Amino acid sequence: MEKLQDEILLVDKPAGMSSFGVVARVRRKLSEEAGMIVVKGKDGVLRQKQRKVKVGHTGTLDPFATGLLILLVGKGTKRANEFLKLDKEYIATVMLGADSTTGDPEGVITEREVREKPNKEAVEKCVESLVGENLQTVPRFSAVKINGQRAYKLAREGKEVEMPRRKVQIYELEISRYEWPELVIRCKVSSGTYIRALGEDIGEKLGTGAYLTALRRTEVGKYRVEDACGISDFV
């Protein structure tokens, strides 16, 4: 692929790979393409060294999630603040009738006994009630810092902490498909909204429990996943 300098790079992250893993692979590939430079060591000897290209992300995706990652390359890394508060769009698959300790398929799954399965009308009413401003509890398995430590680290150590609650905006929330126990939704939300928490909120309102089995980020601000390159471009 052509060399990139000081640009925004859109990548479609695959499932099972961390956002940091994507950054590392892209950095390695672009650095290889940038070639070698000559540097003088402390001993005064000139040596060739691999040029290092700066690459950073503007917002992570959980390993199980797929979709749009906006990476900044070279001097473009100084523009990170421009992307912090952008609205986002997701497509999520919600599994009703069970709970997960992490809100996603990576946690411990506990099935619930649901005597009356909600019909589509009940699910639609539930979804509609969540549109607008919501007070959302930040998931225990998140990167938010609690007393200087990452929440997910404390959760893995089995420590109970009170998670903060934040105001978030759900601009659009619609059902793409519903066939018990699987619900697929499309949502457009403000920055800082946890879709795992949104899935759990749906399960709580329906009285069924819920967790995400799939999550795909399709849009960040004006940027769309259709315009992104695949991770296979950076092998």
Neighbours of 27 (CB within 10 A): 18
CA angle, 5 then 20 then 195, to 5°: 115
Is omega for the bond preceding 181 within 30 degrees of 0, making it cis? yes
Give the residue among 219, 173, 172, 196 at the shortest CA–CA distance from 68: 219
Rounded to 10 degrees, the C-alpha dihedral 163/181/126/61 comes to 40
Given CA atoms 149, 150, 151, 156 in this order, what sign does their dihedral have? Answer: negative
**Which residues touch 189 (CB under 8 Å, ≥6 apart)?**
87, 88, 89, 90, 168, 169, 170, 171, 195, 198
Task: Name the strand (E) or helix (H) holding 156.
Answer: helix 151-156
Let me know if 62 is a catalytic residue: yes
Catalytic residue among 6, 12, 43, 62: 62
Structure tokens at 61: 């995706």
Helix (H, G, I), strand (E, B) or coil at 16: coil
Catalytic residues: 62
